[in-house]
Amino acid sequence: FTTSPNADPSTCQIPFLIPPAFQRSCAPFLSPTVDLESTPQDASNISSALIRSLPTLWSHEPYCVHSPSARTTFCVYTRTPFASGRGLSIICSREALSQVTSASAFRNPEPWTVARPAAAGKYTATPIPNKGLGNVATAAISQYEELHAETPLLLVQDTAMQHVEWDVLFGMLRVAVERLPDKSRRRFMELHGQFGGDPLYDRINTNAFNGKVGSGSESWWTVMPESSRFNHDCRPNAVYHFDPQGLTQHIHTVRPIAPGEEITVSYLIPTLTHAERHQKLKAEWGFQCDCAACNAAPWAVELSDARLSLISKLEGHLDDILSRNDASTASAELLVSLYESERLDGAMADAYVFVALEWAYVANAEKARQWADKAMAAIGALRGPWNEWYQSMAKLLVEPEGSPAWDYFARKKA
């Protein structure tokens, strides 16, 4: 047996010369529906077809392909017991794998077993005209309630998506999906595909979210089939964030929702103009936006675009601690009212932070606390309580005088 210097420590190293038939008898991971023979198998582009007689971390032998253009080897890793048996398949380079395996949910899964939120029973997947399935509220849901928490079935490193040749990538996706537990594989296959072409890639392209994993700063494609049932609205009533340590997607409401209302999230950043939203949804998501903001009358679209432009300008001023331009408590509160008029409830977190900071700069503890409290609720839903601004706002709430923002300009002059 030879061991390559950059070997994955979770595999026992046996060179690729071991015939595939023997590999299957050693680790019978493939159902007859996966035809690995159609995936390039020659020794030149498979750097390691390795056998592990006693699986450790991985439930199947990692399936690895060398990418000359990325100058690295990408593998499919699957752990079927992950998240109480939901399973997880990962496609990434060996170097990037530690981003996933260092995440708390992977190192110590017990505390991370995700509980089903109480509000999960207050909506149901329903056919929506021209949108396929969507989630519709069956009961009243309050602002900032958690609707949903879900671990991914599939994580794909963006670099792998960019560099692995299409045919090889499609083969790796087949291995990744085929190795998932039955129920999870069925859930994956029930996903909507918008674009056609390779059926697995299409499902991923239509449904994956972008996220960071563990302590890494790289981009990953994360596939969570139930989270994917939420349709897009430019002025949504729910937001999502991915916890990189808990490897869990959380979805919260951002305003009260009435029974019968569709629950939506935004697939875009909030401050795009009407034309930019249309263009991006068509180009990147393959559908014509028909939400209320997209279908508004021309005068309403013009007004909305003007508000969005003022929002960007004000945020630029408030963010500039040196020149201060139009920054003040009044302009920060104007920013909040512009967000409210736009119904951008999901994006209020930044506006609340600006107001809380402006009141702290002028040493008004009561106001700073009041806005820090609102900011925490909004950030908790939009970015999660580990977000650095959540922590700053918590400090401002508990002890405004101890915050670095407290009486900032007077202290600077002194």
Query: Which residues of this protein are in contact with ligand SAM, per CB under 6 A?
Result: 130-134, 192, 194, 206-207, 228-229, 231-232, 285-287, 289-291
> Distance of CA 390 to CAs 61, 357, 393, 395, Å?
41, 13, 5, 9
User: Is the CB of 60 or the CB of 232 nearer to ligand SAM?
Assistant: 232
* Distance of closest approach, residue 135 Cβ to ligand SAM, in angstroms: 9
Q: From the CB of 405, what's the least distance to ligand SAM, in Å? A: 39
Nearest distance from residue 200's CB to ligand SAM, in Å?
Answer: 15
Long-range contacts of residues 404-410, Cβ cutoff 8 Å, at least 24 apart: 405/357, 405/360, 405/361, 405/368, 406/360, 406/363, 406/368, 407/360, 407/361, 407/362, 407/363, 408/321, 408/360, 408/361, 409/361, 409/362, 410/363
Is 206 or 253 the residue whose CB approaches ligand SAM more closely? Answer: 206
Please name the residues in contact with 305: beta carbons below 8 A apart, sequence gap of 6 or more.
273, 274
Would you say 89 or 227 has its CB closer to ligand SAM?
A: 227
Compute the least distance from the CB of residue 231 to ligand SAM, in Å.
3
Angle of CA points 192, 197, 198, to nearest 5°: 80
DSSP codes, 43-60: TTT-S-B---SS-SS-SS
Nearer to ligand SAM, 131 or 212 (CB): 131
Q: Which residue is nearest to ligand SAM (CB)?
A: 132
To the nearest whole angstrom, how small is the minimum distance from the Cβ of residue 37 to ligand SAM? 32
Answer yes or no: are the C-beta atoms of 177 and 225 closer than 8 Å: no
Distance from C-alpha of 80 to C-alpha of 53, rounded to nearest angstrom: 17
Whether the Cβ atoms of residue 378 and residue 238 lie closer than 8 Å to each other: no
Are the C-beta atoms of 217 and 244 separated by less than 8 Å? no
Which residue, 58 or 240, is less far from ligand SAM as judged by CB? 240
Task: Tell me how far, at minimum, the Cβ of 285 lies from ligand SAM, in Å.
Answer: 5
Q: How far apart are CA 257 and CA 140, in angstroms?
A: 6
Burial of 165 (0-12, 13-18, 19+ CB in 10 A): middle
CB of 87 to ligand SAM, least distance (A): 21
User: Nearest approach, Cβ of 281 to ligand SAM (angstroms)?
Assistant: 8
CB nearer to ligand SAM: pick between 190 and 319: 190
Q: Which residues of 39-69 are buried (b: 16+ CB within 10 A; e: fewer)?
A: beeeeebbbbbbbbeebeebbbbbbbbbbee
Residue 174 or 229: which CB sits closer to ligand SAM? 229
- Smallest gap from residue 128 Cβ to ligand SAM (A): 7
Between 226 and 407, CB nearer to ligand SAM: 226
- Closer CB to ligand SAM, residue 77 or residue 242? 242
What is the C-alpha to C-alpha distance for residues 229 and 148, in angstroms, rounded to an integer?
11
Alpha helices in 232-328 (DSSP H): 274-280, 298-319
